[in-house]
């Protein structure tokens, strides 16, 4: 259905992890990993409270070594499987990895529990000691979980049951959608291939693609409804056991962000829903439609959107990154030079895109489905932003290289912005500039407003599942349509078919509560980019230092060094004002075009 782009053979080389699923080294590392965990347990179990600062530092280094090897083993299994979810052998490898990971977790859980059991005065002295300066943030933030930890036996039991519980159901969800085929124009296509048709200029093709997806989802709705219900109640059970007051508390704690800050973000974005409706009314007029439906939202305003080859996309992204900062361009280039990207669309491959940090002793890998559209170039820029962030923060170690989800989206969205601005400068035609700008606003609305509307849906289904018990497909549909109608108002006609479109979104199951982090990241980047435009002197160096910090400090502290205060509605509103300026720019260009 689509032209060749050169990405059809772009597949990653995972040999920096292992050569093959039957690699002898993989088998040996699994055995070594278990031996390392057992040795660590034998050495430190019952002794953490007696460790001095130097002793705790040495223990943390060994603890990181176990986790690094575990991440290497687990990443290899998952990366392989995600490119072919229909391969039973690769699924078996994932399951073996999950079971081993659970066993390792059970052996190591004592370490966290014994650290949290140390009284506050002694813990504070250890945290403030020079020997533990490197691990200070990890040690400090880990103690926030003290009220929510269970006994060692209970923690071991929860870890063991995850293998046949939430992890198994998430895998079943991914494999079900990976194996699903959708009928379109007399042929069968994967979910990703049909979703791509929603961005075509041919309205009838978009309508048919939407109908094909709806029909496929309808056939799977009973299964997917059951999966959702099972994972919702699984999370409710865990939250109750851990004394989390709400479904989102654990996510906010993990994100190192106050509940009030998240509420402020959600409130500011929902209050600005009229901006979304204003934009879609503009786009309806530009497309010459009597009314906009859900399958028109991402239609290009130019009838024949030019395709971007893989090599062109590579040049666009790497050049934009290089122009911003030489190191950023150099690191991005490594992903292409060393085959750290899997971009080919093929049967069995899961949908979407991600950057996997793997292990700090290796490097990240980028996964995507490249179809040659401008938005695919932006997706490449997005995931490479993650990749650069993960690569340069590796020196912070296993425990502090990763960032909370809120700031994890900063580098990715900033990368998109760099490529977008670079493309805008290269274009000379007003029509092409307008088309690119409309596409950017489409993406921004999807990242900020649509993600918050999905957060509202998540809030509704978690709350109702706990209050009223198992939800029917019809009830999921009602809650989905209610939260989507709040977003679009009368600017988009949502057909009855759209009611089922909650069922394929993986974030709801993979990482409950994730989606607001996209809005957080986008609004943060808008604020950062505004500062970059105002004063470029020294900004790029400071930005790279922010990325290098990884998760070694709180999001509040890290962003404050860039002159941004993430607390309070004024911060979010300043980002929303910048989105309004983009819409005003589009309105002006549309009037001139």
* pLDDT number for residue 41: 97
pLDDT band at 559, cuts 50/70/90?
confident
Rounded to a whole number, what is the largest CA-CA distance in the chain? 74
What confidence tens digit (pLDDT) does each residue in 88-120 have? 999 999 999 999 999 999 999 999 999 999 999
pLDDT average, residue stretch 389-397: 97
What confidence tens digit (pLDDT) does each residue in 11-37 have? 999 999 999 999 999 999 999 999 999
Burial, 46: exposed, middle or buried (Cβ in 10 Å; 0-12, 13-18, 19+)?
Answer: exposed
Tokens found for residue 444: 């921004």
Asked whether the predicted pLDDT for residue 359 surpasses 80, the reply is yes
Q: Same domain for 202 and 94?
A: no
The answer to whether 321 touches 418, Cβ cutoff 8 Å, is: yes
Rg (CA), the chain: 24
* pLDDT number for residue 302: 80
Query: Is residue 282 situated within a structural domain?
Result: yes
What confidence tens digit (pLDDT) does each residue in 254-289 have? 999 888 889 999 999 999 999 999 999 999 999 999
| DSSP secondary structure letters along 438-468 | HHHHHHHHIIIIIHHHHHHHHHHHHHHHHHH
Q: Same domain for 224 and 141?
A: no
Q: Same domain for 537 and 592?
A: yes
| The last residue of a domain, from among 129, 164, 199 | 164
Query: Is residue 551 situated within a structural domain?
Result: yes
Asked whether the predicted pLDDT for residue 1 surpasses 60, the reply is no
What confidence tens digit (pLDDT) does each residue in 180-213 have? 999 999 999 999 899 989 989 999 999 999 999 9
Could you tell me the pTM of the whole model? Answer: 0.87
Q: Same domain for 497 and 559?
A: yes
Q: Same domain for 235 and 133?
A: no
Query: Is residue 28 situated within a structural domain?
Result: yes
Query: Residue 358: which region, alpha, beta or left (left: phi > 0; alpha: psi -120 to 50)?
Result: left
Query: Is residue 227 situated within a structural domain?
Result: yes
Show the domain range for 462: 188-305+392-593
Number of domains in the chain: 2
Provide, rounded to the nearest whole percent, the portion of the chain with pLDDT above 90: 83
Output DSSP code: residue 202.
-
Asked whether the predicted pLDDT for residue 424 surpasses 90, the reply is no
């Amino acid at each position: 259905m689509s032209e060749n782009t050169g990405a059809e053979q772009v597949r990653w080389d995972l040999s920096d992890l292992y050569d093959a699923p039957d690699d002898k080294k993989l088998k040996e590392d699994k055995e070594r990993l278990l031996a390392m965990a057992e040795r660590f347990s034998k050495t430190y179990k019952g002794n953490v409270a007696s460790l001095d600062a130097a002793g705790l530092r040495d223990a943390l280094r060994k603890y990181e070594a176990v986790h690094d090897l575990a991440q290497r083993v687990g990443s290899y299994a998952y990366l392989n499987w995600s490119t072919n979810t229909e391969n039973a052998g690769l699924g078996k490898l994932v399951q073996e990895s999950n079971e081993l990971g659970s066993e390792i977790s059970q052996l190591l859980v004592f370490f966290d529990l014994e650290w949290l059991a140390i009284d506050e005065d002694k813990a504070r002295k250890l945290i403030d000691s020079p020997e533990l300066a490197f691990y200070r943030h990890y040690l400090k933030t880990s103690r926030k979980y003290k009220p929510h930890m269970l006994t060692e036996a209970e923690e071991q039991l929860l870890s063991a049951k995850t293998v046949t519980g939430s992890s198994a159901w998430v895998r079943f969800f991914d494999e079900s959608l990976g194996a699903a085929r959708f009928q379109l124009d007399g042929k069968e296509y994967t979910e990703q291939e049909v979703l791509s048709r929603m961005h075509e200029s041919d309205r009838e093709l978009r309508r048919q693609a939407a109908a094909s997806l709806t029909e496929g989802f309808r056939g799977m709705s009973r299964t997917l409804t059951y999966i959702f219900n099972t994972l919702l109640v699984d999370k409710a059970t865990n939250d109750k056991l851990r004394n989390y007051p709400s479904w989102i508390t654990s996510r906010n704690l993990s994100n190192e962000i106050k509940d009030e800050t998240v509420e402020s973000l959600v409130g500011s974005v929902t209050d600005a829903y009229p901006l979304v409706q204003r934009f879609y009314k503009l786009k309806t007029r530009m497309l010459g439609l009597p009314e906009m439906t859900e399958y028109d939202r991402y239609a290009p305003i130019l009838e024949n959107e030019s395709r971007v080859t893989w090599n062109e996309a590579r040049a666009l992204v790497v050049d934009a990154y290089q122009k911003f900062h030489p190191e950023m361009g150099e690191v991005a280039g490594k992903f292409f030079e060393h085959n750290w990207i899997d971009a080919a669309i093929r049967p069995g491959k899961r949908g979407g895109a991600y950057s996997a940090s793997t292990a700090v002793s290796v490097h990240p890998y980028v996964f995507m489905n490249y179809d040659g559209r401008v938005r695919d170039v932006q997706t490449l820029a997005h995931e490479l932003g993650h990749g650069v962030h993960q690569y340069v923060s590796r020196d912070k170690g296993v425990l502090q290289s990763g960032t909370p989800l809120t700031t994890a989206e900063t580098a990715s969205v900033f990368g998109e912005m760099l490529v977008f601005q670079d493309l805008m400068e290269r274009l000379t035609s007003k029509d092409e500039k307008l088309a690119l700008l409309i596409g950017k606003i489409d993406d921004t609305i999807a990242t900020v407003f649509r993600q918050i509307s999905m957060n509202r849906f998540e809030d509704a289904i978690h709350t109702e599942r706990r209050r009223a018990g198992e939800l029917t497909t019809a009830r999921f549909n009602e809650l989905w349509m209610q939260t989507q109608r709040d977003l679009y108002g009368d600017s988009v006609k949502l057909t009855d078919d759209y009611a089922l479109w909650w069922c394929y979104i993986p974030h709801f199951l993979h990482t409950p509560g994730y989606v607001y982090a996209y809005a957080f990241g986008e609004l943060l980047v808008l604020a950062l980019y505004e500062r970059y435009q105002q004063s470029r002197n020294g900004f790029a160096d400071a930005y790279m230092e922010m990325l290098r910090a990884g998760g070694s400090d709180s999001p509040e502290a890290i962003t404050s060094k860039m002159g941004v205060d993430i607390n309070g509605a004024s911060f979010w509103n300043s980002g929303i004002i910048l989105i309004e300026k983009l819409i005003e720019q589009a309105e002006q260009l549309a009037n001139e075009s």
